[in-house]
Structure 1
Amino acid sequence: MKKLFYVMAGFAIVLLVLYTYLGGFTAPDVALATSKTIYIAGQPYQGSVEDEALGKAFQRAAEVLEKKELNGMPGNIYYNDPDKSGDSLRAFVGVIVPDSGVALPAGYELRTVPGGRQVVHVEVNANVAIAPKKLYEAVFDYAKEENLALEDFYVEWFPASDRGVVEVPVKE
């Protein structure tokens, strides 16, 4: 019985260390900000968050970066909250690029997110596996605390494998 306890305790410690290493205890930085214009090269997606096509869109974005078809960082636009819309997602998955003059890979299109809007801006130093949950929780918590109404329009990007950013416009 003692042996099982020590094994379970050891396993718990390993999980705790891994979670800490991935940034699980890192607090996101949240602020109201004015958005800058963002260009995203990618492909539209509409369907279930569980659909294989969504995974393929993310894989294609990673491939585009890996093969240096585009210079930039992974980035996405979400046009709705799947938690509110019954698992249905409308998104644009791709790569944040520096300007609108880039040559697009096959199957990609360019979308522009205009700047100059008031947004809830959140950044976190955490692994990409953990960052989205931390980012969105911080956005919604901040909006609730500050009594802000948000649009159903989310722009996220990952400047590094251990850093995530999301911006959500405040309703005017």
Structure 2
Amino acid sequence: MNKKFLLVMLVLSFIVAAFYAYLGGFSSASVSEASSTQLYVAGRAFHGSVNDSGINDAFRRAAEVLDKKELGGTLGNIYYNNPEGRADSVNAFIGIIIPDSTVQLPADYELRVVPAGRRVLRGEVNAHYMLAPNRLYEAIFDYAKKKDLELDTFYVEWFPDDHQGIVEVPIKD
């Protein structure tokens, strides 16, 4: 019995590790200093607790807009406070990065523009969008600490592919 149990656990562990690797769980993020490009974000604002169902509704709505092809683009969000912080509240704009501002938005969406030309830390990782943010924010904060850079509390994240994540955070002057 012990040998069978051990074999089953070994096989399950291998499957879990392989799946985690497939999702990009072992990928490391790269961070560089860059100049931001202008981004158009169509979405919905959310202010509230991280436990509020409204935040999940906003994420689901963004996925639905893409699935139904109401807008073309990639999942993207703006956070006005640290999304990885330990605070219970989130101030965010959740939606889709769209190619230009002339598209017709769904009735429940509004447009926000992220300005170009700002000095930012840009983190990139090849990992599933469920794993990417943790990798990205940790790498960005570590880089900023090593280089003694102070960051703004304005975070833009987007996911051009299921297995790619990008975060830009302006550097305070």
Displacement after TM superposition at 1:82 (Å): 4.8
Which stretch shifts more, 79-88 or 112-121? 79-88
CA distance in 2, matches of 1:160, 1:50: 27
Displacement after TM superposition at 1:3 (Å): 2.5
* Structure-2 residue corresponding to 1:168: 169
Q: Secondary structure at the match of 1:151?
A: coil
Amino acid at match of 1:130: L
CA distance in 2, matches of 1:20, 1:61: 26
CA distance in 2, matches of 1:116, 1:82: 23
So what's the TM-score if we normalise by structure 1? 0.95
* Structure-1 residue corresponding to 2:131: 130
Name the Cα RMSD after superposition: 1.2
Residue 45 of structure 2 corresponds to residue 44 of structure 1: yes
Q: Secondary structure at the match of 1:137?
A: helix
Q: Secondary structure at the match of 2:8?
A: helix
* Structure-2 residue corresponding to 1:77: 78
Q: Secondary structure at the match of 1:104?
A: coil
Report 1:49-64 matches (<5 A). Answer: 49-64=50-65
Kept after mapping to 2: 8 A contact 1:49/1:82: no
Kept after mapping to 2: 8 A contact 1:126/1:164: yes
Displacement after TM superposition at 1:42 (Å): 0.5
Displacement after TM superposition at 1:84 (Å): 4.1
CA distance in 1, matches of 2:11, 2:132: 26
Displacement after TM superposition at 1:86 (Å): 2.2
Q: Secondary structure at the match of 1:32?
A: strand
* Structure-2 residue corresponding to 1:93: 94
Displacement after TM superposition at 1:12 (Å): 1.4
So what's the TM-score if we normalise by structure 2? 0.95
**Judging changes above 3 Å, is the alpha-carbon distance between structure 1 residues 112 and 27 closer, same or farther for their aligned structure 2 residues?**
same
Deviations 1:88-123 (A, max 9, x none): 000000110111111110111100110101100011
Amino acid at match of 2:6: F
* Structure-2 residue corresponding to 1:31: 32
Displacement after TM superposition at 1:13 (Å): 1.2
Amino acid at match of 1:150: L
**Judging changes above 3 Å, is the alpha-carbon distance between structure 1 residues 141 and 93 closer, same or farther for their aligned structure 2 residues?**
same
